[in-house]
Chains A and B, each alone.
Chain A
């Protein structure tokens, strides 16, 4: 089944404890992206990647890191999480860059930073 998977689905952590949220897609998509969703703010793009070893900042990249060493994986790294990073996170992928290509979203990761 074609899908985007994220792990973990739920995570409660404490300030400053490094964490990684994994994202993997099995559709051979070039474009991958991370969003955070907050009430009243909609979805905001954190980082995106147009191919292996190519990553770019979205609108809210501060406090996050990403890497794209393999085409299928695009982990989101929080080196020193803070409470303002408590949010719902989505990973998404599409065949390539450009508007025609539909984005497929993962199921979301609910992160709470205490």
Chain B
């Protein structure tokens, strides 16, 4: 069974600085997708970025980028130029790329990010 681990329950970063949130996962599958979701105080779940395991290039969305290390099963999220609006809970998630019957989606326990003004 797949697992997703976020080892940092909470982190803080100074506004305008860069922060990296870590995520490791375990799977025996060769193709899959990894996601980072943001949950601000409004509780809405917002997709930040996704990465397909077969793509070597790290995904980037504006100030958000990932460092995907497939062999190490690591998927960290880097937030550059942190802004107050980035304060939220961040979840890492795994989903198989195969169109098989078991299509569970696995989430990590989350990392709460605080932005210090």
- The DSSP consensus for interface residues of chain B is loop
Interface 9-mer from A11-19, A67-75, A76-84, A93-101: A93-101
A41-B109, A48-B105, A92-B45 are known; give 9 further A-B pairs, CB within 8 A: A45-B106, A45-B107, A50-B103, A56-B101, A59-B104, A98-B98, A100-B33, A103-B47, A103-B105
The answer, yes or no, to whether A43 is at the interface (CB within 8 Å) is yes
Residues of A within 8 A of B43 (CB): 88, 107-108
CB distance from B70 to the nearest CB of A (A): 14
Residues of A within 8 A of B108 (CB): 42
Decide: A99 and B44 in contact? CB cutoff 8 A: no
Instruction: For A43, give the chain B residue with the smallest CB separation.
Output: B107
CA distance A56 to B47 in the complex (A): 24
* Range for the number of chain B residues in contact with chain A: 20 to 34
CA distance A100 to B54 in the complex (A): 12
Most B-side CB within 10 Å, residue of A58, A90, A97 = A97
25 A-B interface contacts by CB (under 8 A): A33-B105, A40-B9, A40-B109, A42-B107, A42-B109, A43-B93, A43-B107, A45-B107, A48-B105, A50-B103, A56-B101, A56-B102, A90-B45, A97-B99, A97-B103, A98-B96, A98-B98, A98-B103, A99-B31, A100-B33, A100-B52, A102-B47, A103-B105, A105-B45, A108-B44
The answer, yes or no, to whether B95 is at the interface (CB within 8 Å) is yes
Instruction: For B105, give the chain A residue with the smallest CB separation.
Output: A45
Decide: A99 and B104 in contact? CB cutoff 8 A: no
- Name A's B-contacting residues (CB within 8 A): 31, 33, 35, 40-45, 48, 50, 56, 58-59, 88, 90, 92, 97-100, 102-103, 105, 107-108
Q: Contact string, B1-24, partner A, CB cutoff 8 A, digits 1/0?
A: 000001001000000000000000
CB distance from A9 to the nearest CB of B (A): 10
